[in-house]
Structure formats: C-alpha cells, structure tokens
C-alpha cells in the first residue's frame, strides 16, 4: 500500500522536468517527469530504495534521505516540510544552517552544467555540483556526505580525503583566514546550531592554524580569487573563482571560469568532452 510519503515523492517526481536537473535527456520518454533511476542518481540513493519508498515498503527514511530527496525533487520550503512530516520527522528548525536548495537555485545550477559550479551551505558543506565540477576536482559522490566540508578539507587534510584538488601554490595566503572569518559570521547568524558548534569545536581542537585564526576574531565574507587546480590528466588549470549568493537563502554558489580562448578554457573544454574525473 502506498504511503503518504511515497505518494508525495512519486507525484513530485512526475512533475519535474529532466531539463531542470542537469541530467541528459533521452529521445523517448513514456511518461513526463523523472524516472526512478534518475531520482535515485540525483539523491544518491539506490533505485531499489526509491522503489520501496514510493511503494510504501520502506516507511522510516532518515532525515538525511528526506533532505536528499527534497533537494533532488527541487521542493519549495513548504513542500520540504510536508515531506518531513509524512516521513514522521520534524522539519528542519529555523535558526539552523540550512541544507535545502530552493527550486530556482537548483535550476540555475542544472542549466550552468557547462561550467564548474557547486552549491555549499553556510558552513561550507557541499550540497550539489555540476558534472564539470566533479571532473575538475574529483567526484564528491565517492566521499561520505559528512566529509564534504571545505573547512575540514582545508584545515585537517590528514583526516580528510584528497579532495578537492587545489595546489597550495594556487591558493592565496588569505584564503584560510577568509574561510574562518566567513564561518565566524555564520556562527553569529546561527548561535543555536549544535552541528555548527560541533564543527567549530572539532576544527579548533584539530588545527592550530584554525584555532589561531578563530581566536583572532576576524569577521569577513569569502570573496573571489584565482585558484590553480592540479588535475592529473590535463595538468594545472588556473581559474577565476567567484562566490555568489541568492536572495532569501543562505547558500554559497561557487563558480569557476576562464577567459574564452585561453589555455585554461581549452583544458575545461577537454574535461567537458571527456568527463574525466580520476
């Protein structure tokens, strides 16, 4: 018997156009909307689990699964909250770092799939990315979700995976300070977020550099700069990195670009064609 949760997932899957997801469109589709395997791919779930959820045979999805489905289905905040309630869970509380990507931001990310683009939460946890971003930096899908935090990668490299690929010489000395200052501003905006507090405490204990920067008290936002990515196939790629924000949601949209006709643009074109991620 189909549950309310499964019925909602099936309905919202049926209304979502594949063109708005960044997935390749096939010539023939028997029905409108996403296929189950496409939703599974977007949410990082198995197809069998999506089938069982829709059919009501899996009735207790975790908060992480519900959040992943809400992002993949490009739900509004109200729809996301409904999905949590039908799963028997409380919706994310206000005053906590959000991981939900509004439909408009999701469509922008999908339609800019020809550039390396990623969307991060306010604590710099990676939420979604374009195929070219994965080809450039390495596929984040191979990394556990709890380890997809740029602050952890930057300040505890021995504990984090070798991801993303950025050469030390390709990053300015000001970058670590900018990340810490941005995180301090986030902590002030979300004083009751226990997960954020735990992240800060963990970094403060694990990294002397982080602790010194944090204790300095600087507050600022992470801004644009040039970075060099050490790609194992095309070699070093130097790109402009811009951090954008969307009105009404506290997300960081990070975009990498190169001047048209430059050697670095040619390297991006090669990665775009080959899809190499290594």
Write out pLDDT tens, residues 113-131.
889 999 999 999 999 999 8
Q: Which of 86, 121, 153 is the last residue of a domain?
A: 86
65 & 132 share domain: no
Question: Is there a domain that residue 215 lies in?
Answer: yes
80 & 107 share domain: no
Residue 63 or 32, more confident: 63
CA distance 75 to 63: 15
Residues in the chain: 278
Q: Determine which helix (DSSP H) or strand (DSSP E) holds 168, and give its type and residue range.
A: none
Residue 191 in this model has a pLDDT that exceeds 90: yes
Question: Is there a domain that residue 118 lies in?
Answer: yes
∠ Cα 239 130 197 (to 5°): 85
At residue 126, the pLDDT reads 93
Number of domains in the chain: 2
Across the range 53-78, mean pLDDT stands at 91
At residue 220, the pLDDT reads 67
Confidence class for position 81, pLDDT limits 50, 70, 90: very high
Query: What is the percentage of the chain residues whose pLDDT exceeds 70?
Result: 90
At residue 159, the pLDDT reads 57
DSSP code, position 18: G
pTM of the model: 0.83
110 & 191 share domain: yes
Q: Which of 86, 118, 138 is the last residue of a domain?
A: 86
Q: Which of 86, 117, 134 is the last residue of a domain?
A: 86
Question: Is there a domain that residue 29 lies in?
Answer: yes
Question: Is there a domain that residue 136 lies in?
Answer: yes
Residue 148, judged by CB atoms within 10 A of its CB (0-12, 13-18, 19+), counts as buried
Whether 213 contacts 180, CB under 8 Å: yes
Domain CATH number, residue 239? 3.30.450.180
Residue 255 in this model has a pLDDT that exceeds 60: yes
Confidence class for position 75, pLDDT limits 50, 70, 90: very high
DSSP code, position 125: B
**Taking Cα atoms as reference points, which of 126, 101, 105, 131 lies closest to residue 22?**
131
Across the range 225-245, mean pLDDT stands at 88
183 & 208 share domain: yes
Q: Which domain holds residue 48?
A: 4-86
At residue 24, the pLDDT reads 74
């Amino acid at each position: 018997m189909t549950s309310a949760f499964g019925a909602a997932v099936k309905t919202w899957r049926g209304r979502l156009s594949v063109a708005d997801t960044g997935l390749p469109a096939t010539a023939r589709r028997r029905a409108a909307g996403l296929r189950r395997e496409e939703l599974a791919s977007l949410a990082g779930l198995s197809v069998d689990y999506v089938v069982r959820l829709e059919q009501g045979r899996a009735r207790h999805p975790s908060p992480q699964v519900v959040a992943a489905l809400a992002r993949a289905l490009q739900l509004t905040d109200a729809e996301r909250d409904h999905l949590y309630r039908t799963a028997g869970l409380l919706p994310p509380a206000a005053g906590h770092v959000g991981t939900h990507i509004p439909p408009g931001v999701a469509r922008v990310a999908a339609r800019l799939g020809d550039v390396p683009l990623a969307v991060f939460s306010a604590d710099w946890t990676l939420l979604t990315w374009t195929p070219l971003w994965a080809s450039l930096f390495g596929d984040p899908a191979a990394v556990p979700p709890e380890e997809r935090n740029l602050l952890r990668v930057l300040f505890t490299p021995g504990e984090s995976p070798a991801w993303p690929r950025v050469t030390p010489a390709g990053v300015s000395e000001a970058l670590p300070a900018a990340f810490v200052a941005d995180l301090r501003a986030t902590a002030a905006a979300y004083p009751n977020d226990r997960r954020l507090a735990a992240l800060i405490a963990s970094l403060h204990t694990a990294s002397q550099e982080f602790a010194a920067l944090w204790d300095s008290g600087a507050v600022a936002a992470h801004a644009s700069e040039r970075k060099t990515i050490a790609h194992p196939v095309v070699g070093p790629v130097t790109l402009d990195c811009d951090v954008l924000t969307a009105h009404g949601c506290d997300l960081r949209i990070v975009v990498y670009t190169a001047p048209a006709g430059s050697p670095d643009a040619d390297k991006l074109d090669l990665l775009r064609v080959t899809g190499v991620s290594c």
